[in-house]
Chains A and B, each alone.
Chain A
Amino acid sequence: MRAVEALMAALKHEGVDVMFGYPGGANLPTYDAIYDAGINHILVRHEAGGGHAAEGYAKSTGKVGVSLATSGPGATNLVTPIADAMMDSVPTVFITGQVRTDLLGTDGFQEADITGITMPIVKHSIMIRDPRDIPKAIHEAFHVARTGRPGPVLVDIPQDLSRAEIDYVPIDDVSLPGYQPTHSGNAKQIRLAAKALANAKRPVFYVGGGVVNANASEELRDLARIEKFPVTCTLNGLGAYPAPDPQWLGMLGMHGTRAANYAMDEADLILAIGARFDDRITGKLSEFAPNAKFVHIDVDPAEISKNVPAHIPIVGDAKEILPRFSEEYRALESDESRMKEWWERIEHWREKYPLTYEDSTDNEIKPQYMVQAVWEATEGQAIVASDVGQHQMWAAQYYDFPEPRRWINSGGAGTMGFGLPAAMGAAAGNPEQLVVCISGDGSLQMNIQELATLAENKIPVKIFLMNNGFLGMVRQWQELFWDGRYSHVDMGNLPDWVKLADAYGIWAKQETDKTKLVGTLKEAIEHDGPALVDVRVTKEENTYPMIPAGQAARDMVG
């Protein structure tokens, strides 16, 4: 069969039901095969949109997201999504077209060395040199993308090779001698960690996106509830532990709660699970959790002691390790009352510093209120994708996620323009669920063209635009740290969003009145199809609390 037909067969064998892409000369053979492959393909309006859509699909479903692009500029448009997927460990496969092999290295038309360009930002990449390797490369790509610490894999296929005739037999067991992720976790280390936890007087569970990736939320909950252990989640970990919950301290880090950050600061034992001690979490590294010993569970051995030295490292899959941890813990004698003082301290912080804001007394819409209104209108049951900025932090703070894979976010890279296409991908992967996108007026314009994709494919994403007329988060930093010199953060000539959405064929409405907000949001939700609500919020509101960059948890402001 034609190599591109084998490519389609391999994708189907891997369970691909939808992919996002954009055609061009170098992947024309592939698009010819897609024509009657029976795989749902969504034509995006920019390859970056396709890449983020694949991420949104993967993050919300746990399956591998697939995105296609042609060679040269098509492929380079995928660089940002690939980097984003790497930072957040998103299982994704990117398939790019490449110029013919006789043109490789000659600066041929639309040639770009995409494997070279993306080398530092992929988990793995495969450049096809023999057409017979195409199906095998696809199987390897999926295997590497979804196992171990998930991540992006690029497969680059020269145009002439994709036109060859080859035989294809699907393979299920990929053998890569240099790639052997550890799953099980060392039994002795697990026992040691259980003992350490039983002896801790001020323990904290610090939970990251790895728990979501490992589908280990239930296992986490079981362990956390053996005794009343306090739990905090990173931005990417939100939903891994249900919120709100008496044991949940809220998010930690730069815009986390005081209870979570102070608890980390005073903890004697931190159980880090699938979290990587990012600088947005640790602040000033030398003053991070100064009294704590660290148990670190991670599937990627290179994360252990990368930023913070681990006292008990456990390499492996949280889904396998946590139940064994619980079992070890149950076999120990421990005394829950040893944590009594600790909980008193935590309750004191919770009472003294709740997550709160000063709401308006008139009709003005405060951005925090807007998130609460979204929560109310969706009954807390939506998949929420956000973009990057203040709105993202407020969404993280004020929308309580009852379970994992409801919060679709660009956490590690912080990519503006992520939200809309990621929401689109999440909606494509979860047709039964309500998917909303909370975006900012800056972020939304970074991949605004995907409104066309939404409209064409009737993908019912509800976009709730937190419109403050500013690049709000940057403005906040300028206000706080740069003497209020607002250099190039005023979005000035904003489009008429309602007209714009209308031009794309999308239902839209503007809302300026707080009392009507929930109703308008509900109207958008009830509308059959994609919708946009342009919510005019307070222009200069700041995201608090905050640990200023490079400072310690104790230095929180606001």
Chain B
Amino acid sequence: MGDPGTKEVFSLSDLQATGQRIMGRKHVLSILVENEPGVLARISGLFARRGYNINTLAVGPTDDDKISRITLTIDGAEHPIDQVTKQLHKLVHVLKIRDLEPHDTVARELALFKIDADAHTRQEISQLSEIFHGRVVDVARKSITVEVTGSDEKIEAFESLVRPFGLIEMVRTGEIAVQRGRHTT
């Protein structure tokens, strides 16, 4: 937005609307909250009531035991992200929200894949998981369980590779993320 304020007179048509919907990308919101009972319910309730769809949600303690961090991903194509963050900010126990820029963010998700396996396929699956820097965490007569961490794209790529073997179960934690560099959220 230009700054019509610097001109002595400006026509109203110079004014650009703010709060326009920045549509299109996935957003990773990193939210610091006070460790109070019901905080998560308030946040998820707010999303439900306003019709915002949460893609993933991860909650855990921080280095300060009075504070927890919620990492939440949401599809920015569907929801005006500034409305989402402003509504969240109205919750008294929400301390800080950062909409993490993808290029400036390290994000990880952990997934466990339990896959159909027998003597023939075990080797092949374990090799695949090595390529993905995954780890075999359990082997049984008819199954193998692999742990993979990484971006959601990586996890989804691994999923599509092992699905043909027969995916018995898959569990994902949802993303957690930090900004690159010295900055904190």
Tell whether A214 is near chain B: CB-to-CB under 8 Å.
no
CB of B183 within 8 Å of the partner chain: no
A178 touches B34 (CB 8 A): yes
With A195-B5, A293-B12, A293-B15 known to touch, is A176 a contact of B92 (CB < 8 Å)? Answer: yes
Chain A residues near B10 (CB-CB < 8 A): 195-196, 199
* Residue on B nearest A198 in the bound complex, by CB: B9
Which of B5, B16, B94, B95 makes the CB contact (< 8 A) with A191?
B5
Q: How far is the CA of A195 from the CA of B3 in the complex (A)?
A: 12
User: Do B19 and A120 have beta carbons less than 8 Å apart?
Assistant: no
> Are the CB atoms of B17 and A199 closer together than 8 Å?
no
Interface contact B92-A302, CB-CB below 8 Å: no
In the complex, residue of chain A having the shortest beta-carbon distance to the beta carbon of B4:
A192
- Minimum C-beta distance from B64 to chain A (A): 12
Could you tell me if B12 and A302 are in contact, using CB atoms closer than 8 angstroms?
no
- Residues in B with CB closer than 8 Å to A302 are 83, 86-87, 89-90
Min CB–CB distance B143 → chain A (angstroms): 38
Residues of B within 8 A of A192 (CB): 4-5
Q: Is B181 an interface residue (CB 8 A)?
A: no
Considering only CB atoms, which chain A residue lies closest to B19 in the complex?
A305
| Contact in complex: B4, A127 (CB < 8 Å) | no
With A127-B38, A188-B5, A199-B12 already in contact, the answer to whether A304 and B19 are too (CB < 8 A) is: yes
The stretch that binds B, out of A68-76, A307-315, A462-470, A485-493, is A307-315
Please tell me if A301 contacts chain B, counting CB pairs below 8 Å. yes
How far is B5's CA from A199's CA once the two chains are assembled, in angstroms? 12
List the B side residues contacting A309 at CB < 8 Å.
17-20
Q: Which of A178, A191, A294, A305 has the most CB of B within 10 A?
A: A178
In angstroms, Cα B43 to Cα A119, docked, is: 10
**Is the CB of B128 closer than 8 A to any CB of chain A?**
no
Assess whether B38 is in contact with A119, with CB atoms less than 8 Å apart: yes
Kindly supply a per-residue 1/0 record for chain B positions 3-46, scoring 1 wherever the CB is within 8 Å of any chain A CB and 0 otherwise: 01100011110011111100000000000011001100110011
Question: Is B141 at the interface (CB under 8 A from chain A)?
Answer: no
CB-CB < 8 A to A312: which residues of B? 15, 18
How far is A489 from B52 in the complex, measured between Cα atoms in Å? 37
Q: Which residue of A lies closest to B82 (CB)?
A: A305
Are the C-beta atoms of B19 and A177 separated by less than 8 Å? Answer: no
Evaluate contact between A196 and B15: CB separation under 8 angstroms.
Answer: yes
B103 within 8 A of A: no
Q: Does A200 sit within 8 A of B, measured CB to CB?
A: yes
CA A540 to CA B49, docked complex, whole Å = 38
Chain B: CB-nearest residue to A125 = B38
Contact-residue size bin, chain A (C-beta under 8 Å from the other chain): 35 or more
Residues 311-324 of chain A, each 1 if its beta carbon lies under 8 Å from chain B, else 0 = 11100000000000
* A116 contacts chain B at the CB level, 8 A cutoff: yes
Which residue in chain A gives the minimum CB-CB distance to B16? A311
Are A313 and B19 neighbours in the complex by a CB distance under 8 Å?
yes
Is A441 on the interface with B (CB-CB < 8 A)?
A: no
Which one of A119, A144, A191 lies within 8 Å of B41 (CB-CB)? A119
Q: Report how far A306 CA is from B46 CA in the complex, Å.
A: 15
The A interface, classified by DSSP as helix, strand, loop or mixed, is mixed
CB distance from B38 to the nearest CB of A (A): 7
Distance of A304 Cα from B82 Cα, bound (Å): 10
Indicate if the CB atoms of B12 and A269 lie closer than 8 Å.
Answer: yes
The reply on B91 being an interface residue by CB < 8 A is yes
Q: How far is the CB of B20 from chain A (nearest CB, A)?
A: 6
Q: Is the CB of B9 within 8 A of A310?
A: no
Q: How far is the CA of A300 from the CA of B94 in the complex (A)?
A: 16
Whether a CB of chain A sits under 8 angstroms from the CB of B93 is yes
Q: CB-CB < 8 A to B5: which residues of A?
A: 188, 191-192, 195
Q: What are the residues of chain A within 8 A of B15 when measuring CB–CB?
A: 196, 293, 311-312
Contacts of A41 in B (CB 8 A): none
From the candidates A127, A178, A195, name the one contacting B95 in the complex (CB within 8 A).
A178
A496-B12 Cα distance, complex, nearest whole Å: 60
Nearest-CB distance from B110 to chain A (Å)? 29
CA distance in complex: A366, B84 (Å): 48
Which residues does chain A contribute within 8 Å of B45, judged by CB atoms? 119-120
Give, as a whole number of angstroms, the nearest-CB distance from B66 to chain A: 10
Q: Mark B60-94, 1 if CB is under 8 A from A, else 0.
A: 00000000000000000000101100110111111
Chain A residues whose C-beta falls within 8 Å of the C-beta of B34 in the assembled complex = 177-178
Q: Residues of B contacting A127 with CB < 8 Å?
A: 37-38
> Do B83 and A306 touch across chains, with their CB atoms under 8 A apart?
yes
- Contact residues of A between 122 and 145, Cβ < 8 Å to B: 123-124, 127, 129, 144
1/0 per residue A196-224: CB within 8 Å of B? 10011000000000000000000000000
User: In the complex, A129 Cα to B35 Cα: how many Å?
Assistant: 14
Residue picked from B5, B89, B91, B95, most chain A C-beta under 10 Å? B5
| Cα–Cα, bound, A306→B18 (Å) | 11
Quick one: which of B12, B38, B41, B86 contacts A200, CB cutoff 8 A? B12
Q: How far is it, in angstroms, between the C-alpha of A309 and the C-alpha of B4 when the chains are bound?
A: 18
| A534 at interface by CB-CB < 8 Å | no
Q: In the complex the two chains form, what is the Cα distance from A65 to B5 in whole Å? A: 43
CB pair A124–B92 under 8 Å, yes or no, is yes
A178 and B93 form a contact (CB under 8 A): yes
**Residues in A whose Cβ lies below 8 Å from that of B89:** 301-302
Known contacts A178-B91, A192-B5, A302-B86; A119 and B16 CB within 8 A of each other: no
State in angstroms the CA–CA spacing of A302 and B87 once bound together.
6
Contact between chains at A311 and B18 (CB < 8 Å): yes
A293 to B91, CA, bound (A): 30
Check: A387 CB closer than 8 A to any chain B CB. Answer: no
Q: Known: A119-B38, A310-B19. Is A301-B86 also a contact (CB below 8 A)?
A: yes
Residues of A within 8 A of B33 (CB): 178
Verify if A268 is at the interface (C-beta below 8 Å from B): yes
Binding site for A on B (CB under 8 A): 4-5, 9-12, 15-20, 33-34, 37-38, 41-42, 45-46, 49, 80, 82-83, 86-87, 89-95
What are 16 of the A-B contact pairs (CB < 8 Å)?
A115-B38, A176-B92, A177-B95, A178-B34, A178-B91, A195-B4, A199-B9, A199-B10, A199-B11, A199-B12, A302-B90, A304-B18, A304-B19, A310-B18, A311-B15, A312-B15
CB-based closest 4 A-B pairs: A305-B19, A309-B17, A302-B86, A311-B15
